[in-house]
Amino acid sequence: MAPDPDLLAFAKAAGAAGDDLFTLLSIDATASEQDIRRAFRKKALTAHPDKAGDNYDPALYEKLEKAKDVLLQKEAREVYESGMRAILRKRKERDMMDEKKRRLVEELEEAERQAESQKKKMKMNGGVDPEEEKVMREMAERGKRKWEEKQKLKEEAERREREREDKEYEEKVRELERKLKERKAAKKEKKREGGSTKEEKVNTTAPPPPPPPPVDDTTAAPQSEPVAPSDPRDRFAATMARLRAAQAKKEEEKRKREAEVKGEVAA
């Protein structure tokens, strides 16, 4: 049999509100089904209209009936107890927070008392309190250690960044070398294919024309020397030089920054 939706809604609302239905029936959570029915009959005797007379409270009587039904019906009781557990958990967390606040107030009050005592000691001694001086030294040491740890972390991060940049640089160089090899291989292949094509043309066409007559060196105009095409190896070497120069400049800037930081630490 499906549970009554109205009963489930009542169970959910009672659990969310933190209504103790067990206390309402004067029982505890370990009460059996027979105990729950017996407790309801006992409470109903005083709340029933025939018994209460002019003091009859219909809302109370209805709540007693629903409390009994919720605790006897399995699904409704699970819904109710789930809501109660959430309420109890929130109350516990709130109590813990209140306890933390109380301890915090006590710690602050104790710190104020100690500070007042230190002031009195300093006033009586007419100088610097040894305890305060000790605390200041410890604070300075902690600050120094913290700064040194921060510097180590910074240096480690810079070292890793340099390694990453060096790795990227090496990968770029390898990529350039690979592309250069591919370009050279393609050029050789193209040259080889062009040579074989020329040979086939020579074999299939008419014989070449006779060579031109010799030209007198004294009358012929001087010819300019052909300009050699740009060598891919020269372009690769220039690119490598620019990359090395950029890397050297970056490392020099980092060395300068590290020197400045060391100078500040020494100061």
DSSP string, 44-96: HHHHSHHHHGGG--HHHHHHHHHHHHHHHSHHHHHHHHHHHHHHHHHHHHHHH
pLDDT tens per residue across span 169-219: 788 878 888 888 898 899 888 888 876 655 555 454 445 555 555 544 444
pLDDT tens per residue across span 245-264: 999 999 999 999 988 888 87
Domain count, the chain: 2
Q: Compute the average pLDDT of residues 9-30.
A: 90
Tell whether 86 and 138 lie within a shared domain.
no
CA-nearest of 55, 75, 102, 105 to 11 is 75
Tell whether 88 and 140 lie within a shared domain.
no
Q: Is residue 28 a part of any domain in this protein?
A: yes
Measured CA to CA, the distance from residue 245 to residue 91 in angstroms comes to 68
HSE-CB of 117 using CA atoms within 13 angstroms = 7
Q: Are 256 and 171 in contact (CB under 8 A)?
A: no
Q: Is residue 167 a part of any domain in this protein?
A: yes
Model confidence band, residue 71 (pLDDT cutoffs 50, 70, 90): very high
Share of the chain above pLDDT 70, in %: 79
Q: CA-CA distances (angstroms) from residue 198 to 3, 78, 191, 204, 229?
A: 97, 95, 11, 10, 22
Q: CA angle, 34 as apex, 28 and 38 as ends, to 5°?
A: 80
HSE-CB of 152 using CA atoms within 13 angstroms = 6
Q: Is residue 85 a part of any domain in this protein?
A: yes
Each residue of 157-179: b (16+ CB within 10 Å) or e? eeeeeeeeeeeeeeeeeeeeeee
Report pLDDT for 48.
Answer: 72
Q: Is residue 257 a part of any domain in this protein?
A: no
Q: Is residue 132 a part of any domain in this protein?
A: yes
Of 7-11, 51-55, 187-191, which range is least confident? 51-55
- At 74, which CATH number? 1.10.287.110
* Mean pLDDT for the chain overall: 80
Q: Name the residue range of residue 187's domain.
A: 128-193
Q: Compute the average pLDDT of residues 18-23.
A: 90
Q: Compute the average pLDDT of residues 233-237.
A: 78
